[in-house]
Amino acid sequence: MINKIVASALLIASFSVSKAQKISLPKVFADAEKQTQVMLTEIPKAKGGNAELVSPRTLEDGKLKLVPSRDWTSAFFPGELWYLYEYTGKKEWKAEAEKYTANIEREKTNAGTHDMGFKIYCSFGNGYRLTKDAYYKEVIIQAAKTLSTRFNPTTGVIKSWDNRTKWKYPVIIDNMMNLELLFEVSKLTGDQSFYKIAVSHANTTMKNHYRPDFSSYHVVDYDTATGKVLQKTTHQGYSDESAWTRGQSWGLYGYTMCYRETKDKAYLTHAEGIADYILKHPNLPEDLIPYYDFNAPGIPNEPRDASAASIMAAALYELSTYSKNGKKYKDAADKIVENLTNSYRSKPGESYGFLLLHSTGSKAQNSEVDVPLSYADYYYIEALMRGKRLKEGKKLF
């Protein structure tokens, strides 16, 4: 594995020294369509008759790995299909998006997880945004009701994981990504309880997850009797005190979105602080595609994380529309997208149809290291779509 990481680092570094080349969006999306057709052909083969497996997640031992709907990554492929439909307007992509989205519906009542935003909003949320299907709306509303059951008024936050012996009431920075579902349903229903839960979670997380330099802890554990913080740790980063890069991207995306939904300038200031921490970090490579952790000890021979970069780019595009430093953030997003496109994409017809290579799921568990990941592809396509809208002079939301 180490030799593979070093080889990947050298390959990526060879692209980092030159300026990012401009990309042709029609060509990128044409390639994405071809790759997704490959994926659609490979999924039935990988299922092996197991109806519970509904969506691609990664490559494992060189083979396509599918996951059931309960997996937190299950909705990224349906979401990607919705984006392809949005870009192309082709009915065949809409049909595939509807098919793969339907596979996730059972999750709307799964109260055993905080990943409701990832699963329902990336699939049904995009579907509703593009079709205004009333049934999709009802699924979204039910999902928000389910997610709300995981909120504890004493701690002020939504619990992330159940049945973990290491923590009593763990909250991970990733959980910021589920708040968009609550904000949306508050608008759809007029019920302010969803809004209040989202704001409470964002405020409490801003207070307890973040260090003075705007870097974030991964996991914060709470005492449900007092609401006090018990411990601050990591699960996927290098160490408890390190800055796991995808976690920094989740926070950047989450607080930018919170500003959009509330217009609370504290969130904008916080998002700008996170963005500047990331972009000014001495261990951020020249091509802006980060290592899996900003404090990983073996840099530059550590695995990159294209998923963190994709999330970061999507967030920076939105942040650029709110911030007085907007040009700086948009330029960074452009550079990330250009470098992902030019240096991190799979070759056409390869990698079972995944779009991006060189992501890292959890280096701490030696899991999904230097592989494609479905959420890297999803946020890459989202970033491309956001960049397109800005170039056309259109609003993102």
Rounded distance between C-alpha atoms, residue 158 and residue 161, angstroms: 10
Stretch 171-182: mean pLDDT: 98
Whether 115 is catalytic is: yes
Distance CA(234)–CA(254), nearest Å, equals 19
- Model confidence at 2, pLDDT cuts 50, 70, 90, reads very low
Of 353, 344, 320, nearest in space to 334 by CA: 320
pLDDT score for 169: 98
Alpha-carbon dihedral sign for residues 198, 268, 123, 130: positive
Q: Does residue 16 have a pLDDT over 80?
A: no
C-alpha distances (whole Å) from 330 to each of 17, 198, 263, 375, 393 are 21, 27, 20, 21, 13
Nearest to 261 by CA among 201, 208, 304, 213: 201
Alpha helices in 89-176 (DSSP H): 91-102, 116, 126-131, 134-148
Q: Are the beta carbons of 300 and 285 closer than 8 angstroms?
A: yes
pLDDT reported for residue 106: 98
User: Any binding-site annotation on 174?
Assistant: yes
- Residue 193, annotated ligand binder? no
Domains and CATH numbers, the chain: 1-44+276-392 (1.50.10.10), 52-61+69-136 (no CATH)
| pLDDT at residue 7 is higher than 60 | no
pLDDT at position 270 is 99
Q: Is the pLDDT of residue 375 over 90?
A: yes
pLDDT at 20: 52
Q: In Å, how far from its chain's centre is CA 335? A: 19
Q: Is 213 a catalytic residue?
A: no
Whose tokens are 């059951």? That residue is: 149
pLDDT in tens, 204-254: 999 999 999 999 999 999 999 999 999 999 999 999 999 999 999 999 999
What span, in angstroms and rounded, lies between the C-alpha atoms of 349 and 352? 7
Name residues whose C-beta falls within 8 Å of residue 341's C-beta, 6 or more positions apart in sequence.
23, 28
Q: What pLDDT score was predicted for residue 13?
A: 46
Which residues 6+ apart lie within 8 Å of 173 measured at CB?
Answer: 205, 209, 216, 217, 218, 247, 250, 251, 254
Q: In terms of pLDDT, which residue wins out, 111 or 19? A: 111
**Does 149 belong to an annotated binding site?**
no
* Average pLDDT over all residues of the chain: 95
Largest CA distance in the chain: 56
Return the pLDDT at 157.
Answer: 98
Judge whether residue 9 has pLDDT over 70. no
Catalytic residue among 71, 115, 293, 334: 115
Residue 287 labeled ligand binder: no
Q: Is 161 annotated as a binding residue?
A: no
Angle at 162 between CA 140 and CA 200, to 5 degrees: 55
**Percentage, residues of the chain above pLDDT 90:** 94
What pLDDT, in 10s, does the model give residues 254-286? 999 999 999 999 999 999 999 999 999 999 999
Q: Residue 260 and residue 267: Cα distance in Å, rounded?
A: 9
> Does residue 21 register a pLDDT over 90?
no
| Predicted local confidence at residue 17, as pLDDT | 38
* Overall average pLDDT of the 103-107 stretch: 98
Contact residues for 41 (Cβ-Cβ < 8 A; gap 6+) = 353
- Among residues 71, 174, 221, 370, which one is catalytic? 174
Beta bridge partners of 304: 291
Write down the pTM of the prediction: 0.95
* pLDDT (0 to 100) of residue 8: 53
Strand, helix or coil for residue 58: strand
256 is in an annotated binding site: no
How far is the C-alpha of 237 from the C-alpha of 364, rounded, in Å?
A: 6
Looking at residue 22, what is its pLDDT?
A: 86
Helix (H, G, I), strand (E, B) or coil at 22: coil
| pLDDT at residue 118, rounded to an integer | 98
